[in-house]
Amino acid sequence: NAGVTQTPKFQVLKTGQSMTLQCAQDMNHEYMSWYRQDPGMGLRLIHYSVGAGITDQGEVPNGYNVSRSTTEDFPLRLLSAAPSQTSVYFCASSPSVGQGPETNYGYTFGSGTRLTVV
Amino acid sequence: AQSVTQLDSHVSVSEGTPVLLRCNYSSSYSPSLFWYVQHPNKGLQLLLKYTSAATLVKGINGFEAEFKKSETSFHLTKPSAHMSDAAEYFCVVSDRHTNAGKSTFGDGTTLTVKP
């Protein structure tokens, strides 16, 4: 089925370890983003990309890196894991985000990666 | 700058009664507004979106939302709650002049449906 695929679904890391969360979409969407979800705080944007080779920071980028070498893939790298990065991570994509309500399509979300840093 | 406030962190209704989840927004320009639903241990699913074509927006599963510019509100309603509606709901605003890629999520409203 077409959609956004995130792997792994669960991960436990030790403080200081690094890892990459994978995100792939098969809908040819231009826009992809990473959010983290923490209790009572909604979703916060980490990084986003408006096309292959173009990335930018969101609200909470520190400790994370991204790259977008293809339209389909948008991996999120944790450089040196910290307990504060314990969270649920969601990848989302959109055909585009447009320039106004008429062309802002909303997001398709992956099912999430639950990360625990001990 | 843009922001969104979901006025209730928890709403509890009985099955078959109306649902009202309240959302106020702040946006300097013409906003895009969305409601998403998240069932336990699942990703978010788009319920409906405001596209400026009509102020009353119909979504999936019988949900509706009305855009009221004068009140800066985008409340979500459903005439009759079903047990399967129990979930967390997020109101989202996106302002084209705040960089189209940056949407702001509300903190969420947890809807409980009692039998």
Alpha-carbon distance of A61 to B63, in angstroms, equals: 34
What is the band of A100 on the pLDDT scale with cuts at 50, 70, 90? low
**DSSP label at B15?**
T
The predicted structure's pLDDT at residue B36: 95
CA distance A47 to B66: 31
Spatial CB neighbours of B93, under 8 Å, sequence gap ≥ 6: B2, B3, B4, B25, B26, B27, B31, B32, B33, B34, B103, B104
If interface means Cβ-Cβ distance under 8 Å, which residues of chain A face chain B? 4, 31, 33, 35, 40-45, 48, 50, 56, 58-59, 90, 92, 96-102, 104-112
Q: Compare all CA atoms of chain B with the CA of A55 and give the residue at the minimum distance.
A: B101
Return mean pLDDT, chain B: 90
Q: Which residues of chain B have pLDDT under 70?
A: 95-101
**Residue among A50, A58, A104 whose CB faces B94 most closely:** A104
pLDDT of the residue at B41: 83
CA-closest candidate to residue A75, choices A3, A19, A12: A19
Q: Is the pLDDT of residue A110 over 60?
A: yes
By C-alpha distance, which of A47, A27, A51 is closest to A35?
A: A47
A contacts of B1 (beta carbons < 8 Å): none
∠ Cα B67 B73 B77 (to 5°)? 70
Please work out, in degrees rounded to the nearest 5, the angle formed at the alpha carbon of residue A98 by the alpha carbons of A94 and A99.
155
Beta bridge partners, A13, equal A117
Q: What is the mean pLDDT of chain A?
A: 90
Element (H, E) at B23: strand B23-27
Residue A2 has pLDDT above 80, yes or no: no
